[in-house]
Structure 1
């Protein structure tokens, strides 16, 4: 049975977009995760089944409140992008599965998802974001480098020789008056 984590629709600054916090098995997440599996299998030479299984290897609870979230962005009810985070350590959230549906790329949705995730991560009280992306995802590397993430690898080494590309970003300390009630200590 699908369980919606939050049925609160949050209108966004981008016209027609809504952000939903959903469970990993939510129907809104299903097409995005399926397309992500196809994309990764194509880029990394693995079967779609292997990739899809690896996307589901993490327990769904890791992407649920209070320590994580899976956000899906819809436009006119259609899932167009999404991303997730989970607890990495007490002060750090780890980004996972940031994705834009193929037919909706080059519209700024990847950055929009990243900003939504960062806002939610800060709201949850994390002070640092950590992530890894693959060597065959130059558009992801560019997104992170141009939006304040520090590469934790030698950028002079060819991408395929590095393996997973780790990044981090420290979040500004929240203003005491802006801390939400119930934020993690």
Structure 2
């Protein structure tokens, strides 16, 4: 997979974000309600990545400043046809590396219990429970995870 830095509002990012939002509708009954400003994903306080296979966008993910030295991972997604190939793990590793290069010491994220494959990916990548935060802090199905960058 070729991973490229793109603006959050790039057409390829937009199509993948639309797909992940539709997946949230299927799994949770509605899209992610977290407020997102595309400017939050612009360097140096954020970054958005799209992964390509044979020129087609198949994966995405980004991070944005959350607190001093902490960034929040958002919009991790792999299209269904490309799942099971380690692309999500590769995207997560690139997000972690780019965040560390930008000075982040810790990553946090929100996911949900109806995404067991995402929870398994993050836990197997060293993420552990953190205190709830953000839009879904009080949502019963929300899972809040974090990882300190080495």
TM-score by length of 1: 0.73
- Structure 2: gaps spanning 5 or more residues: 132-138
Q: Secondary structure at the match of 1:29?
A: helix
Residue in 1 that maps onto 2:25: 41
Residue in 2 that maps onto 1:140: 118
Residue in 2 that maps onto 1:29: 13
Out of 35, 52, 74, the position equivalent to 2:52 is 74
- Between 78-87 and 18-27, the greater mean CA deviation after superposition: 18-27
4+ residue segments displaced more than 4 Å: none
Higher RCO (Cα < 8 Å, 6 or more apart) = 2
Is the radius of gyration larger for structure 1 or structure 2? 1
By how many angstroms is 1:163 displaced? Answer: 2.7
Out of 96, 99, 103, the position equivalent to 1:118 is 96
Out of 134, 140, 143, the position equivalent to 1:162 is 140
TM-score by length of 2: 0.89
C-alpha distance in structure 2 between counterparts of 1:27 and 1:45, whole Å: 25
- Structure 1: gaps spanning 5 or more residues: 1-16, 154-160, 173-185
C-alpha distance in structure 1 between counterparts of 2:21 and 2:143, whole Å: 19
User: What is the aligned-residue RMSD (CA, Å)?
Assistant: 1.6
More strand as a share of residues: 2
> Do structure 1's residue 97 and structure 2's residue 68 form an aligned pair?
no
C-alpha distance in structure 1 between counterparts of 2:18 and 2:104, whole Å: 29
C-alpha distance in structure 2 between counterparts of 1:139 and 1:151, whole Å: 16
